[in-house]
Amino acid sequence: MEKGKLAQLGLTAMERLDLPGELAAGVPVVELTGNRQFLMVQHKGVLSYSTELVEVSAAGLQVRLTGRDLQLVAMTESELRICGTIEKVELVE
């Protein structure tokens, strides 16, 4: 099965079973605190990075953050944290 379809199947199952996001395998969990901090668990890597644009790969999609003074302040194999003034968060398939 294609990765994107598998991720969508996981999301559908998670919604139907009313499970929290962190329980669905491979489904990214995103937390935005105001417009100053962005946390993502289950990312697949940073695609591009500057102080005005950060693009992150996730299960079957891309997350694009635009803003000012963006900084990748922490990153592990599964988790990343970005701080700065976040003006827009987009999900791109």
CATH of the domain at 42: 2.60.40.2000
Cβ atoms of residues 62 and 47 within 8 Å: yes
The answer to whether residue 82 is domain-embedded is yes
The answer to whether residue 39 is domain-embedded is yes
How far apart (Å, rounded) are the C-alpha atoms in residues 62 and 21? 17
How far apart (Å, rounded) are the C-alpha atoms in residues 13 and 71? 34
The answer to whether residue 3 is domain-embedded is no
Can you give the pLDDT at residue 45?
Answer: 93
Number of domain units in the chain: 1
Q: Phi, psi (5° rounding) for residue 37?
A: -145, 135
pLDDT, tens digit, 9 for 90 and up, residues 11-52: 666 666 665 555 556 678 899 999 999 999 989 999 999 999
Helix, strand counts (H, E) of the chain: 1, 6
The answer to whether residue 6 is domain-embedded is no
Domain limits for position 54: 27-92
